[in-house]
Amino acid sequence: MTQKEEKKEDLLKEQCGEDADFYAFLCHTLYVDPTTAISKKDLVTLIDEAEESVKNENYGDALRKYQQAANKAIFEATQKPGEKGRCIKVIQDLVPRTVEVIEKVKEKAEKDGLAERAGYLEKEIGNYEFLSKRIEDVIRVASLYYDERLKELRATEEQAAKRESHERKETARTIKKVKEKAEKNADVAAAENVNK
């Protein structure tokens, strides 16, 4: 387990207390690095793409898009307090659609004899039902968690930028010293040639 994952667990455990189901759900749902994991597409686009996949009976793709939309809505609710109500409404609308698509994917997995996949999908249905019941709690803890993670990520980026700046300065100093030494050696060689 990485240090980032350990911090995630510690923060979530602190927020969840003895509620093991809530903790398990959040560990499954929240991202260590939301800046790279959360889709850059807007919610409307993700939902439209998911609905198009449903029309084309591409339920696996629809499921991915609905999941991305739900995760994006959770994240946006944490980062845009004025949009929280709208995001909750979006999530509430997404849950039954997502569950319906999960059922279709699960049916196919069962037909194909993929019992492990079907079992995983059954758990996903439970996760979405949990989300619909605890959406306010999820957003409250996700807000604390993502705020902390984003601070840590910004600090890491700032440290990397400082380190890179320092390395550039050191490289420039080294190049300057090498040039000065080469010029000095050239001057010495030229003086020796004049004296010959």
pTM over 0.85: no
- pLDDT score, position 24: 92
- pLDDT score, position 154: 76
- pLDDT score, position 131: 95
Q: Using CA atoms, how far apart are residues 145 and 33, in angstroms rounded to an integer?
A: 11
- pLDDT score, position 194: 67
Q: Using CA atoms, how far apart are residues 102 and 127, in angstroms rounded to an integer?
A: 11
- pLDDT score, position 177: 76
Low-confidence ranges of the chain (pLDDT < 70): 1-9, 156-158, 160-161, 166, 187-191, 194-196
Q: For the chain, how many residues are written? A: 196
- pLDDT score, position 7: 66
- pLDDT score, position 61: 96
Q: What is the DSSP letter of 82?
A: G
Structure-block tokens of residue 63: 């499921």
Distances (CA, A) of 149 to 27, 30, 52, 175, 190: 14, 11, 34, 39, 61
Q: Which amino acid is at 82?
A: G
- pLDDT score, position 176: 74
- pLDDT score, position 60: 95
SS3 content of the chain, % helix, strand, coil (to 5): 90, 0, 10
- pLDDT score, position 100: 97
